[in-house]
Chain A
Amino acid sequence: MLKILIPTLMLIPTAWFAPPKWLWPLTLMGSLLIAVTSFSWFKSTSEVGWTTLNSYMATDPLSTPLLALTCWLLPLMILASQHHTHNEPLNRQRTYLTLLISLQFFLILAFSATELIMFYVMFEATLLPTLMIITRWGNQAERLNAGMYFLFYTLASSLPLLVALLILQNTSGTLSLLTLQYMSPMSLTTHADKLWWVGCLLAFLVKMPLYGVHLWLPKAHVEAPIAGSMILAAVLLKLGGFGMMRMMLVLEPLTKEMLYPFIVFALWGIVMAGSICLRQTDLKSLIAYSSVSHMGLVVAGILVQTPWGFAGALILMIAHGLTSSALFCLANTNYERIHSRSILLARGLHMVLPLMATWWFFASMANLALPPLPNLMGELMIITSLIGWSYWTLALTGTGMLITASYSMYMFITTQRGPLPNHLVALDPSHTREHLIMALHLLPLILLILNPQLISGWVN
């Protein structure tokens, strides 16, 4: 664990003391080396579930894929941010890198935490660098509003979580996941217990986000700079899913009666958020609502509490992390050329940027869950476990998959196909850097087809 945490912390002095010319190559190299070292977590060295165990942190088949995704994303964020920050003062660039690195540090601690209070503190700690990234490096005036929505939605919903965790500590005597997993189900019969159940999950439902409390997401994702959008879509949403999966341990017998309204919201959110995507003119907003839709499926998969539901949720979280981040990078390549997020201003791009069109194609096909990519595998596992819970969910999940395919195709066809408009006369060719980012997003996704048991948790 320390062989990844200490180099991550040491990237911060690297960012501050690197010579100006070599700042970005050095941090890129450091972060890629850390990402490679993070693959060592996949080697599970013990017979029990928890590996790399120390007093505060451990990894298990649930947190390992998310940790690897976090470590993989930092070099991608560095690559993506290099261009739009190149005219900024040097110290501002160093600060930006420090914020990204500190986000990775807090996220590693959050995913590997064995004690729930440590997880809570790290969960909150990730809010601060993200807020700074959105409000200080966003491009439009709306970034301030977006930052406020982001901060206060998450803060307000996580205060009940703190109270709920303290109650849990009082009743069960421990908040360590290692002990809590063996706790017998508590007797949860009063209305106060039902409120406690909601308190435990509300923070994560807002973070995921569940449709209904999702208003912060389109604002935050759209107004954030590219690295902010990437880390938000790829990892910070998954903090919510991860938290839900951990809390399910202790929420035992109440869940099967309390989950009804939340599954309904989640399933309805798949359809509604997908439908809104079809009406978006802002490209980043389209991708943001697409995230809401996919995460609705993940929430439903977690709440039904079956092995396939959990496995499908984890697979979909990892696959969606890579896909959504890739789509935001693609939208950013458009934005850096025409300085607009409009889906209509840059059309017919496959005539001028055919290689980038190939990446657009792969990313859009991944978004609509094309087999054999893990996106489909996760969605199928969730839908199957939902059918086991109730046949009627198929109507909503099926419609959701149909709408997902529609808006993914709509996004691809509108940006790439069709006639090249007359006003596009001077677009820069695609940079090698942009091709590298897309390759580093989509090649791991394709490689995961060959080894899905890495990301499927405890189910082989």
Chain B
Amino acid sequence: MRGWHGAAAPPGRDTSVRTLETTMAGKPKLHYFNGRGRMESIRWLLAAAGVEFEEKFIETPEDWDKLRSDGHLMFQQVPMVEIDGMKMVQTRAILNYIATKYNLYGKDIKERALIDMYTEGIADLSEMIIVLPLCPPDQKEAKIALIKERTTDRYLPVFEKVLKSHGQDYLVGNRLSKADIHLVELLYYVEEIDPSLLANFPLLKVISLTAIRREGSHLPPQDLTFGLKPHNCLFSIPFCPPELAARG
């Protein structure tokens, strides 16, 4: 069995060690809207690391006001994750913490620099996709066209080339890292927009199947969607604070 680079317990049917671990430590608690937005990549990373988490959804203006007035949001923003006794904010800070804790961040600072570089590129494209539901209808077509262009001309070729150049299964250091997880997440979004965008990237099609399947082989694919939000969910939330809407 391929080495497990997640938390202490190896994958398998017996998850009692991990459950004990998380029960004692308390599961991470995610504070966000009931939708993808900026929290989704955190959900993916926790899920890929085999970490169960709870969610408290912000559903009304009162929820939002309370969270802020209780002083739980450092910069008055979400995502916020309660984990290990901290109220963590800033998506990247949270992701980097989880990646370090669960050994998904490379073996040294040079590998980490590569992982960060790839992650930032993925985040730039993902950002364009995340804010799409908030885009005014008359601008949407142009935005989608730009996303498609960036996907096939700027971002996917880079990752195809990286995989081709070393012939390994993972982007960095021949083992699973957060970069692979973020990339797989992105590929799912690209596929949702237009599956034909992936046509010219054979190695990326493979990574989306093997990267998560192998390391998390005890989980059938459906388990990965635990806590993961359906497409366009951000649209359907009844309450969207003005700052979030303004970002689109």
Q: Is chain B found bound to chain A in the same assembly?
A: no
User: Residues of A at under 8 Å CB distance from B?
Assistant: none
